[in-house]
Structures are given as structure tokens and as C-alpha cells.
Amino acid sequence: MSTDRRTLLRLAGLGIAAAPLAAAAGAKPRPSFAPPPLPVIPPLSLRITDFGAVGDGTTKNTTAIQDALDRCSMLGGGEVEIPPGRFLTGTIFLHANTRLKIGEGAELVGSDDLADYPIHQVRWEGKWIKGHCSLIHAIDADNIAIVGPGKIRGSDAVGGVPRPGTPLRYPALIEPVNCKTVLFDGFSTFYDRMWNLHPTYCDDFTARNLTIRTSDKGRDGIDVDSCRRVRIENCDIATGDDCIALKSGRGMEGVTIGRPTEDVFITGCTFSDLHWACIGIGSEMSGGVRRVRIENCKFTYAKTHAIYIKGQVGRGGFVEEIDVRNIDVTGAQLGFLRFNFLTSGRNDENQAPGVAGVPHIANFRFRDVRVHDLPQLVEGWEIHPVRPLEGLLLENISGSCKAGLKLAHVKGARLSGIRLDGLTGPLLSTLDVTGSGLAGAVPLPAPDVPPIVPEPATPYRLA
């Protein structure tokens, strides 16, 4: 039996390759964008000042706030309110059936002392590593909520990224892990040094009416990491790094765990990104990403592309059923859309081998897109020839753009209603593309393609 065949069968036995193989066979995705259920919180109401919290901006309130949350949990759940004031704290842990209310005029502020953030297993760039818990943390806590209209601010003194001399991951701002039925509603955040919201392994997650900010040196707004049934609506996100990133693990750890991000609905949002893309899908996508709909959104600025869908040889996994409709794009410095499944992201020490290690990509649809004075419409040529993109729809796209579309290794492309002003070159350049609407395309030079990852001498084992 060939290496590639053995790898595919091994992954299928783990339940990982089944979805992309089914998609390739023509299986229809199930309807999946109904709103997730929202938490139902018991009527109990507690206030942190009744437990000794002081909102003077200097008193450390970690114990008082945690006492209120613990008491609420022991009484069966309810709401814990942060009243007007500036409340300094280290990590606090939410329990099941609890709503944390950041009231009008209230601000929850992260401590400058890294020792105030306990060390636990956390996710960093698709891998589980040791790191510091977030400012607001929840583990295995179902039926939880954080609501506004107040503010949550992280400390610049405790942020950063893991490095050889400092291998621990630094604190995120808000991080529910393995939680079900989660609502974040109506508050604002500011945190530069790590992600603002990082739901991980969560089901039925809703984020709505949020204002998320970083400086131009800040990191991501919302990182959705191996979550199911996600709804992000009416949010205003302006960040230094990706506004929203959809991820599911990196390398053989992500492939073996096989926990995808799926059924994600993003609607009514405004995005501005000062360093990377407004919405990034990948590059840590080894567990798979599928059934994502983005609609009725405004992309006002991106340092690179408004939407960037990415991976690399050795990631494995899949990205499929991406549906984007009725969006406006201005200020994207490199263009509207890019696919890169050859070289994007950090190499993993345990890459997925063989053809199964090349991401499976299928059914990307973009409809009713309005672009304004962009340098490029679509950079879609960084696709491996052994795993071409199976199904691409670009329909009713209009506006002004200096360069058109570059597509390579696409099966079943459908292009129609593309009307662009300001072109300085060909509308369409292609290599190994089949489908309709391709008349008049000029040849596209073949890109350099990384080699397939060889089978390791010692098979990977999750440990």
C-alpha cells in the first residue's frame, strides 16, 4: 500500500479525512446557520463591591471578584455585576450558569504582574502548550455570558509572544475553553499584546454588539479556534493584526485531534486591520474549517487583503464551503482576496506527510462584492496541483481595481458578472483552470511548488 494511501486510511480511521473525502464525492453540506442557543441564567444577582472590590484603579481585586463568582456558582448560578469604577484584577475564572455584567461606567483592567495569571495548558498557533491563563478565563463552563456596556482592558506589561527564552504563552484577554452556550454581548475591549477573544473548543458561541480595539502594534480581535456553531454579528473590530481568524490546529497534533472550526456565521460587522488581513482563515487549519458564511459586512482597511484563506504543504486538514456575499471592500492595500495553500504560516515540527498533508480545499463562493480602488481583485494562484481547489464561484463583483484575477489549479470555476473599472492589465490570468466564464484569460506562469512532506521514520503519536 502506498504511503499516501496509508496516511489517508489512518486519518479516516480517526474521523478526520471523512469530511473532505465526502465533499469530493459530491456530498451536500447540511443547512447550518440558525442562531446558536443563548445562555439562560438564573435570577440571582451579586455585586463585586459587596465582596470587598474597590474600583479605584489601583487596588487589586482578584480575590474579591473571584469570591463573588465562586459564591454565585455555589448558589446555582446567576449574574455577577461590576458597577461603575476601574477595577484592577488578575485572572478570574467564570463558572457554569454565570453571567458577568460589566456595567455602565465600569472598566475591568488587567494587572501588570504576570504572576497574577496562572499557568495552564493553552492553545498557541494551533498547538497546546504551557502558558498563562487569560484575564477572564473559563474551562468546561457551560451556559456562560459576559455582557456590557462597560469596558475590558488588558495590560501591555504582560503581553507578547512565546520565544526561546520565554516559552510560555502570554495571557489572552478573554478565553473560554471547552465551553458550551457562550454569549459575549455589548461590551468593548482594548488589548494590544495578545488576542482579545479566543474561544477554543467551544460549541454554540455568540459574539454580538462588541467594539474591539488594539493599536497598530496590536494582535487579533477574535480568534475562533476549533469551535462549532459560531455567530459573530454587529461587531466593530479595528486591530493591528487579523480582525477575525478561524483556526483548528497545526501539524499532526491538529490533524490527529481532528477538531474543526465549523458552522460560522459572520454578519453585519465592520472591519479595519492595520497589519494583516481583516478575516483570516488558517493558516493553522489542520483540524479543518468548513461551512463559513460572511455577509453584509464592511471592510474599511487592510494592510494586506480583506480576506486571506491560507495553509501550507504539511498542514493537512481542509477548508471547504466558504460563502461570502454582499460585502463592501475599501482600503485593502494588497487586494480583496488571496488564497495561499503552499507556504503560509509557521512550519510544524510534525508535519502531515504525503498527499494527505496537502490541504483539501473546496467550494469557495463570493457573490455581490463591491470593491473600491484596490490594487488587485484576487490572488488565487498559490494552490498545489495535486490538490486543486474544487469549486470556485465569483459572481456579481463590481467596482474599481487596478489588476484582476490570477487563478491556478482550480476545477469547476464559475465566473460571471465581474465588472471592474481602472484595470491596467488583463482581467483574468489562469493556469490549469477549468469551468465557465474563462474566455479571454491570458496564461499565468507556474508558481514554485513545495515538495510533498515525506513519511517520517517514526510515526507521529499524540503525547
* Average pLDDT of the residues of the chain: 93
At the top level of CATH, the class of 32-217 is mainly beta
Tens digit of each residue's pLDDT (9 = 90 or more) over 354-383: 999 999 999 999 999 999 999 999 999 999
Whether pLDDT at 4 is above 90:
no
pLDDT tier, 216 (very low <50, low <70, confident <90, very high otherwise): confident
| DSSP codes of every residue in 29-50 | PPP--SPPPPP---S-EEEGGG
Ramachandran assignment for 95, one of left (phi > 0), alpha (psi -120 to 50 degrees), beta (any other): beta
Domain range annotation of the chain: 1-30+242-455, 32-217
Whether pLDDT at 20 is above 60:
no
Whether pLDDT at 30 is above 80:
no
Q: What whole-number distance in Å separates Cα of residue 54 and Cα of residue 287?
A: 44
Q: What whole-number distance in Å separates Cα of residue 421 and Cα of residue 377?
A: 11
For residues 411 and 386, is the Cβ–Cβ distance under 8 A?
Answer: no
For residues 250 and 226, is the Cβ–Cβ distance under 8 A?
Answer: no
> Rounded mean pLDDT of 115-120?
98
Whether pLDDT at 22 is above 90:
no
Query: What pLDDT does 425 receive?
Result: 94
Whether pLDDT at 218 is above 60:
yes
Tens digit of each residue's pLDDT (9 = 90 or more) over 310-338: 999 999 999 999 999 999 999 999 999 99
Cβ partners under 8 Å of residue 356, min gap 6: 4, 7, 8, 11, 17, 316
Query: What pLDDT does 15 receive?
Result: 35
Q: What whole-number distance in Å separates Cα of residue 34 and Cα of residue 209?
A: 18
> Rounded mean pLDDT of 250-273?
98
Lowest mean pLDDT among 66-80, 106-120, 148-162, 365-379: 148-162
Q: What whole-number distance in Å separates Cα of residue 80 and Cα of residue 46?
A: 5
Whether pLDDT at 229 is above 60:
yes
Give all strands (DSSP E) within 83-135, no chain letters: 85-89, 92-93, 98-102, 106-110, 119-124, 127-132
Query: What pLDDT does 7 receive?
Result: 37
> Rounded mean pLDDT of 373-396?
98
Domains 1-30+242-455 and 32-217 share a fold: yes
1-30+242-455 classified as CATH 2.160.20.10: yes
116, three cell numbers:
497574577
Neighbours of 301 (CB within 10 A): 16
Q: What whole-number distance in Å separates Cα of residue 267 and Cα of residue 85?
A: 33
Whether pLDDT at 302 is above 60:
yes
pLDDT tier, 413 (very low <50, low <70, confident <90, very high otherwise): very high
Q: Which residues partner with 93 through β-bridges?
A: 137
Exposure of 174 in the CB half-sphere (CA atoms within 13 A): 29
pLDDT tier, 32 (very low <50, low <70, confident <90, very high otherwise): low
448, three cell numbers:
514554485
Tens digit of each residue's pLDDT (9 = 90 or more) over 138-170: 999 999 999 999 999 999 999 888 998 899 999
Residue carrying C-alpha cell 456558582: 73
pLDDT tier, 445 (very low <50, low <70, confident <90, very high otherwise): very high
